[in-house]
Structure 1
């Protein structure tokens, strides 16, 4: 019943911008997911995938549309991080249904259990029939639009009966574009607070902060004060050791009051802006009326002047013919001058165009000569550089650039990332050579054999790549030129079936990529 009330409240206030079959909520590149049309009395199964930012998350759902209760949804999710780890402003997770025609339905909150876990299952209902499902991180459970922190989205459905299900081409959606999530005033949730404080109190604090961000401290002071009082009551109840349900009820009342303050502030701000616009329009009208009065006075003055001119017209008629002749002569002269000016202007433009073309050709010739000289110097120095690198390891060349493969004796052991004592002078000399070769970008790639877990091997190779990168950086190589990568055992050069092959796979390669 509580979930249905929340859904009804959100349906009243939710709004999405629609463009063809796409749902928009910000001016960024949209994500896409599949929208499903659920038939009546048909059990449909869905798989969920994590977005590119959260690929390890997963989930599944069972959906059934009935004539009586709308569309019933049962979700099961796992591997969800704690919301505060995603950034300032996030305190819980919310399930959303988004239809291709622009409707958005807040289906409810995935509640926290303990410090690390969230309820793995949630059962909700929506009146929609054709929709996509997503899960987002949110400040509180009564938000009206999804945030940009999209955690999970549904994949293509399949029916338990084997029936083919209708889906739209794509539903595109965006996160909430509010600056709240990047504002320095947005309260951050510390790990200690998260572990000890009830989730609804953390959400209530975010809801109050959102109301302030929306201007409630100016346009909805009483409503904001009420939400802050209720929030304080919830915190006092929690600190006094009241039961969890009582604290949860009061905290959710604080969230509702804060949402009301945020909405009220938005409505009043809009009304104030309309009043200000009306005031500006009234001022413009008064200014126009004053200008009309000034114009009427000017017209009266002109009429008086016209009367005086009429009285003097008889005196001026004797000179009218002379004036007419003079005007004709002046017009003829003006026409001649205009024609001459036009010819001169065309000639001037032609000269300017020719000069500009000559200058561009000169600059292009200088640029091509400079590039040719630079390439010649680069080709001449490349052989010298490769010869200089051979004293540090095996040197080869492919389409990426020059590849220096360091031998295993640079390290103090097979499974460590510390340098052998004999490697220090070699690395010093190598750093000096690389520092003097500024025309190359440097990629450090570390690999190993398959002895160990993928996590251990990836950590080892990453540490080795960073160690090499840090060492040559300390000898004057610009950090912006260097990229360090650890691949674990993902890219062997030989099967890991013999000790000799495993030794080949344990390698660190420094790739010099020309930047010319």
Structure 2
């Protein structure tokens, strides 16, 4: 009898978790403001290994970190270690993970990968072809974002010998329930957000109109999400779940991009159809006006 009750409790537990995901998927919360511009000073990597301190922002004031950078040939190797971190999902809404960015002069910002928290610590070893750049760590919906959000949690300390670069941050795009984790608790053990990232990526694609503007791609993303959920509910090995979740994110990002491109093209067509900048319309207009005047 005890085993039956335990099994029932486990099924109820998975059902509760699933319902939480559904609430997150269909009921996004409050939104942010208009885009903003962040000013950063650059680091110039000349060859020798250099330690760069990272300072926290009001988003996560207790956080700290450092990056060791070294130029080798045409590549800059970057080894980042973070401390006193808290799960990005505590921001609520669309946020699930942290991403490392480098911002070279002239841009664009380069996504160098996501951090996996182990308690309050995280580390990432990566590289970039850039030799001069600023460094950012931001909270993001998923690992495959193309531009940094306004939820910057760490940035490199000002460098007197560096140049100032501006980086536009995405605002008004992602939902959140809190703007700072000042009073939030740290996690215990590893933080796995892959399934949440998959849900969020599909939700963002839906929000962008992918169901209408990129139907086939969106259907593939939804199918991949169902496969992710099936693996998760079956308690398959975590690497298998993570791989499927990351594939879901990739498909959802493609669907969202196509939807956004389709929406932009539709806006252009409407503008051109109304005479706003279409070359053919501009050529016809003088002839029509000429006939009217005659």
TM-score > 0.5 by shorter chain: yes
**In structure 1, what is the equivalent of residue 103 of structure 2?**
98
**In structure 2, what is the equivalent of residue 278 of structure 1?**
272
In structure 2, what is the Cα distance between the partners aligned to 1:260 and 1:106? Answer: 17
1:78 equivalent to 2:80? Answer no
Q: Is the 8 A contact 2:138 2:150 kept in 1?
A: yes
In structure 2, what is the Cα distance between the partners aligned to 1:71 and 1:154? Answer: 16
Q: How does 1:147-296 map to 2 (within 5 A)?
A: 147-156=149-158, 166-168=161-163, 170-181=164-175, 198-281=192-275, 290-296=288-294
Determine which of 44, 50, 58 is the counterpart of 2:56: 50
CA deviations over 1:210-256 (Å, ceiling 9, x no partner): 11222212211111111111011011011112111111111100000
CA deviations over 1:190-224 (Å, ceiling 9, x no partner): x9xxx999411101111111112222122111111
Q: CA deviation at 1:93?
A: 0.3
Q: How does 1:4-19 map to 2 (within 5 A)?
A: none
Q: How does 1:406-485 map to 2 (within 5 A)?
A: none
Q: Is the 8 A contact 1:110 1:118 kept in 2?
A: no
Determine which of 20, 39, 45 is the counterpart of 1:38: 45
Q: Which is greater in Rg? A: 1
**TM-score computed with the length of structure 2 as normaliser:** 0.75
- Root-mean-square deviation over aligned CA pairs: 2.7
Q: CA deviation at 1:75?
A: 0.7
Q: CA deviation at 1:267?
A: 1.8
Q: Is the 8 A contact 2:93 2:176 kept in 1?
A: yes
In structure 2, what is the Cα distance between the partners aligned to 1:291 and 1:269? Answer: 33
Over 3 Å counting, the alpha-carbon distance change for 1:135 and 1:107 in structure 2 is same
SS of residue matched to 1:137: strand
Q: How many residues align?
A: 247
Q: CA deviation at 1:176?
A: 0.5
Q: How does 1:269-418 map to 2 (within 5 A)?
A: 269-281=263-275, 290-296=288-294
Structure 1 stretches lacking a partner, 5+ long? 1-25, 158-164, 184-190, 297-516
Determine which of 132, 143, 146 is the counterpart of 1:144: 146
Q: CA deviation at 1:258?
A: 0.5
In structure 2, what is the Cα distance between the partners aligned to 1:126 and 1:276? Answer: 41
Q: Is the 8 A contact 2:209 2:256 kept in 1?
A: yes
Q: CA deviation at 1:53?
A: 3.4
In structure 1, what is the Cα distance between the partners aligned to 2:104 and 2:244? Answer: 33
Over 3 Å counting, the alpha-carbon distance change for 1:75 and 1:198 in structure 2 is closer
In structure 2, what is the Cα distance between the partners aligned to 1:51 and 1:242? Answer: 38
In structure 1, what is the Cα distance between the partners aligned to 2:268 and 2:253? Answer: 23
In structure 2, what is the Cα distance between the partners aligned to 1:197 and 1:221? Answer: 33
SS of residue matched to 1:123: strand
Higher helix residue share = 1
Over 3 Å counting, the alpha-carbon distance change for 1:60 and 1:233 in structure 2 is same
Q: CA deviation at 1:143?
A: 0.5
CA deviations over 1:6-46 (Å, ceiling 9, x no partner): xxxxxxxxxxxxxxxxxxxx643x44332111102x01011
SS of residue matched to 1:106: strand
Q: Is the 8 A contact 1:92 1:138 kept in 2?
A: yes
Q: CA deviation at 1:101?
A: 1.9
**TM-score computed with the length of structure 1 as normaliser:** 0.44
1:62 equivalent to 2:51? Answer no
